[in-house]
Amino acid sequence: MVKHNGVLYRAADAHAHIYPGKIAEKATENVGRFYDLPMAEVGLPHVLNEEGTAVGFDKFLVCSVATKVEQVGSINRFIAAKCEKYPKFVGLGAWHRDIEDVEKELNEIQALGLHGIKLHSDFQGFAIDDEKMLPVYKACMARDLPILFHMGDARSELSAPKKLANVLEKLPELKCIAAHLGGYQRWDEAKACLKGANVWVDTSSSLFVLNPDEARRSIEHFGMDKVMFGTDFPMWTHKKELERFFALGYGEEENRKMLYDNFEKLFKL
């Protein structure tokens, strides 16, 4: 439990990355280099579990990104194994645009006990609204599997909020999480074109740059029932991100929704 101003809250981190030990340091460094940001930790599973638990977290949504199609299976088995080892972990499967048998791969993801998929268009080199991805989105929609989309970057159009909006025009029932309050560095665009019954957002990699008023405007655009706390571990620590979150000044009811209840509802825990 997380304690703030004398109130105890259940807490879930809705956005965390983990890597196998042999590549964790290099993978973490590469992400930091891509965004030109210092990384607070190394993306090791035990570090996430220990650091987050010490602060009081109950759950962690864990994922990793496949930059090659042949990486998908091994990443998903790794995520599933770490979810079994660390009961607080809730896993998402990796995916790649070049997967040929969509249903077979989704069957394997669900058989591993994973709860959806993660996409990072900028790392993976395809636009969110790529026509080749529509069968994947339709298959996830039919299985009620959420998709966590990395959203936004001023340097690229691949993950622009409008790209997800284009998908949702065709598939409004697609259950999606638009990371980084709808789009890192593109918060105004996200507010202009994203909202809906099946659109969730997380707070990861946003509160470090947005002032509280700006962050509140994004949160209130999407709605208090659609926002989840996230750290983007290992980029940020749980302690620091909680400080930024509580500085927004919301009351106990709103905090409970964003820190845990919305996460629990979305992933049917």
Confidence class for position 107, pLDDT limits 50, 70, 90? very high
Count CB-CB contacts under 10 A for residue 192: 14
Which pLDDT score is estimated for 97?
Answer: 96
Q: Kindly give the residue spans of alpha helices, DSSP state H, lying in 86-120.
A: 102-111
Q: Which residue segment(s) compose the domain that 186 sits in?
A: 2-266
CATH number at residue 256: 3.20.20.140
In angstroms, rounded to a whole number, what is the distance separating the alpha carbons of residues 72 and 217? Answer: 37
Which pLDDT score is estimated for 62?
Answer: 98
Which pLDDT score is estimated for 184?
Answer: 96
In whole numbers, what is the pLDDT of the chain averaged over residues? 96
Q: What is the pLDDT of residues 217-230, one digit of tens each?
A: 999 999 999 999 99
Contact yes or no for 266/146 (Cβ under 8 A): yes
Evaluate if residue 84 carries a pLDDT over 90. yes
Cβ neighbours for 86, distance < 8 A, ≥ 6 positions apart? 45, 46, 49, 60
In angstroms, rounded to a whole number, what is the distance separating the alpha carbons of residues 77 and 57? Answer: 24
Report the SS3 class of residue 251: coil
* CB contact burial 110-148 (16+ within 10 A = b; e otherwise): eebebbbbbbbbbbbebbbbeeebeebbeebbeeebbbb
Q: What is the pLDDT of residues 10-46, one digit of tens each?
A: 999 999 999 999 999 998 999 989 888 888 999 999 9
Which of 148, 257, 262, 130 lies closest to 205 in space, CA to CA? 148
**Up-side HSE of residue 174: CA atoms within 13 Å toward CB?**
27
Q: Beta partners for 59?
A: 12
Which pLDDT score is estimated for 111?
Answer: 98
- Pair of tokens at residue 23: 């590549």
Q: What is the pLDDT of residues 157-206, one digit of tens each?
A: 999 999 999 999 999 999 999 999 999 999 999 999 999 999 999 999 99
Q: Kindly give the residue spans of alpha helices, DSSP state H, lying in the chain.
A: 21-35, 45-55, 72-85, 102-111, 121-124, 134-143, 161-170, 187-193, 212-222, 238-246, 252-256, 262-266
> Strand 199-202 relative to strand 2-4: parallel, antiparallel, unpaired?
unpaired
Query: Number of folded domains in the chain?
Result: 1
The structure's pTM equals 0.97
In angstroms, rounded to a whole number, what is the distance separating the alpha carbons of residues 41 and 206? Answer: 18
Q: What is the pLDDT of residues 55-67, one digit of tens each?
A: 999 999 999 999 9
In angstroms, rounded to a whole number, what is the distance separating the alpha carbons of residues 96 and 118? Answer: 9
> Strand 93-94 relative to strand 117-119: parallel, antiparallel, unpaired?
parallel
Which pLDDT score is estimated for 161?
Answer: 98
Residues listed for the chain: 269
Which pLDDT score is estimated for 34?
Answer: 84
Instruction: Report in angstroms the alpha-carbon separations of 46 from 28, 100, 245, 257.
Output: 15, 34, 24, 27
